[in-house]
Chain A
Amino acid sequence: DGGITQSPKYLFRKEGQNVTLSCEQNLNHDAMYWYRQDPGQGLRLIYYSQIVNDFQKGDIAEGYSVSREKKESFPLTVTSAQKNPTAFYLCASSIRFGRNTEAFFGQGTRLTVV
């Protein structure tokens, strides 16, 4: 089955620790994205990648880092510098960037800082 897989579904982190969220897609999509959703709010863009070995900051990139070494993988690291990391994180991909295309989402990872 083609799709986007995020893991883990639930993640707990102690304050001061870095944690990495996994996102893998087998759709052969060029573009990938990370969004954050807080309760009662919409989706805010953290980072995006138009193509392998490239990535750009989104609206709320502070305290996060990404890499795009392989086309199918776009991991997100939540660093200790992120002041309020507890949220629902969504990874998405699209066949191409910014040209009449749809984004398809994974099932999300809920991160809780304890």
Chain B
Amino acid sequence: DQQVKQNSPSLSVQEGRISILNCDYTNSMFDYFLWYKKYPAEGPTFLISISSIKDKNEDGRFTVFLNKSAKHLSLHIVPSQPGDSAVYFCAATPYGQNFVFGPGTRLSVLP
């Protein structure tokens, strides 16, 4: 059973608009959440993280929102750029345990 779910396999957005990638989790013990970006044939690149004691973390064009009661987090990219086209993985970890990755969402930013 997947503990970290990314229910949208793909997403297309116009350049300059907002991209919203969603992630749901089932394990209430998760207390740290991360987003990674991956290009084909490369390793994932860390983007941004958030601790469970926060509900928002921002870094430049990237903002992650955490809704613990709904067990949901989202990554907002504003404005979206063609170079943002990649697969985005959501990951989570309970304290003292391993990372659990979602299946990924492929984002296409159209010029």
- Which A residues form the contact surface with B (CB < 8 A)? 4, 6, 33, 35, 41-43, 45, 48, 58, 88, 90, 92, 97-108, 110
Known: A33-B99, A43-B101, A103-B46. 10 other contacts (CB 8 A): A6-B43, A35-B101, A42-B102, A43-B44, A43-B89, A48-B98, A98-B97, A105-B45, A107-B42, A108-B41
- Which B residues form the contact surface with A (CB < 8 A)? 31-32, 34, 36, 41-46, 49, 51, 89, 91, 93-99, 101-104
B60 to nearest A CB, angstroms? 16
* A110 proximity list for chain B (CB < 8 A): 41
User: What are 8 A-B pairs at a CB distance below 8 A?
Assistant: A33-B99, A42-B101, A90-B43, A97-B96, A100-B31, A100-B32, A102-B34, A103-B91
B41 touches A88 (CB 8 A): yes
* B42 proximity list for chain A (CB < 8 A): 107-108
Q: Which residue of B lies closest to A58 (CB)?
A: B98
